[in-house]
Structure 1
């Protein structure tokens, strides 16, 4: 897939995801505003209904007193109205029923006036107020602790809060600024000129209550957006990984073609030479070309073996033949092998077998192949005169094998990907570094199946060190 196509897909998916997030944000914000408006209306309605009930209760008391007076039950009226009616004329003293009817409007007016003259704290039935408010809050499904209080306009102080009578000190408005500044209020006992007081409410947890109403939708939105985002990131990762894998496989095929082409050409040339009449008569020349054919055949066989080994690792078919392996012997033998390639280039190989004990439990074939791969890698990525040091030493976890070179070194990016299959370090203008990019992937796999560890220390232009540690025993 082309970079332009990947960029276009990434851009479209990013814009779409941001659009979904923006739309969800607007929907949630709109839902919050709607729920807040409903909450405000419900709380204000609860206050209005309670205020009307208080006024209706007082009007009922006045009506009962007036009706008792009208029916000639002066004593009953006096009892109902209490001290407010004790100075009013009794029905029997002022001329009978006709006088009662003519006096009724005046008596009701006097009752209303005397009720209005009472202190607000005496006009409010706190138990009735608390009961009606709690019922109204429950009916309106108003959750959370709602504070409420009654404010006396004449005395400029609060007379009760949450159904409790306030003392003179506790009525100080400074102690109830939350209620005083609240927008939830309704006037009590309105007259043509003013109101006797206010019924106020305040919701300290209003924000959290409203937020809880959309919490489930918010969590669901976040969950689905997270799933979409995760799938989006994973998709981009897979696309980039597949692109990288495709490029590495293409590079692998090109390298493999090149690796096989050279020995095939050499074998073909040697075969043609043997068939030449000038060569067939010379046994020395025949043996020379036959030796070349054998070497090139072995070279091809080694390359095929590497590919087959990785195929076995892919299918988990690797069976270790565990024996006691002396790593000092392994690096000495491997050093002799790589020295044959390094010395003709003017380089040197130093072997330092310092580990004692040096034996570990492992597969001899794979451990030897691992060390040879690392030495071959050090040789390939070194300048014209390779300087390679291979050593062993004991560490608390086992035996450590170090392969040090003074070659090209690696960048941080290369160190991150060096063990990836088919990955090969870029060598700039150098095009003589051959291989499939499988060697170090094989090294890491063999190290891990032996329960060991591997790390790299490298710097561009200063060479690299591969440090491999193997445990003494397999677990």
Structure 2
């Protein structure tokens, strides 16, 4: 045990001299233990308080550092985004400038090509009309080759221009109100030489009967002529090409059906892709850029319409087009007269197609694709 000893001297009251010593002993174990415990508790509390304060300070420092780093990252990301946005704007401007320059270039080149080409074809027609003498047949043959080459070049130029406009989104359709019968007549007239060269028959089956649409007249005629030209190109001589047309529920329905070589299911998936041409013996010999159907699809879609194809190899093809008429509902309610379908027939002597309407009480059933 822990003790404390105290010695008290006893003094003689008379002489003032210490005569003895009184020893006092006191046990202080409890007091020391209590004080040590209090000291330890105080030390522990002080240590824990210091540790807590240190932890809080450290945590605050970490949080502040993290917030600072996050702010720095956000600033860096925003800076990168601004740089990327600036670069993207510059790239977009460059692309737009390139597209504008390309369009201007194609327009200039096409104009420069079309001007002499038009003159060449016009003078070819004049020479054809004034051929006489022993070399007439040979000269006519050569002039025919020149004219055919000129038309092919003209088609190529027009395809490139249309492709450029559609690719840049600049269709700029010139909508006007017109009767679909006018388009039918234009298609028959324009396609007759092409069909006549292969002695193919053109048949129109429809009941437009004076109904009107509000679309780009030139573009709609171009769609039909592209499909008819494509049908003629891949159909044997002497076959029939059918053009069907009607207006139902404020929607223009068109279809071109041929009796040609047909299209495989694999090729149908890529048929409207730019520059695509089916690879087979029948198509290798045919001229073309592979833009016709892509342009046709672009024109149809620019009018808010759709185009589809149904075909079987060796059994012909049917292209179907639907386009909103752009006319108010009920504006095309008219009395229909059952007019006989006009038909293009070919003279074997001149190989020039002529349009002839033959009386018929009933329409022939549509051809299947």
Instruction: Report which of the two has the higher share of helix.
Output: 1
Higher relative contact order (CA 8 A, sep 6+): 2
Structure with the larger strand share: 2
**Structure 1-normalised TM-score?**
0.38
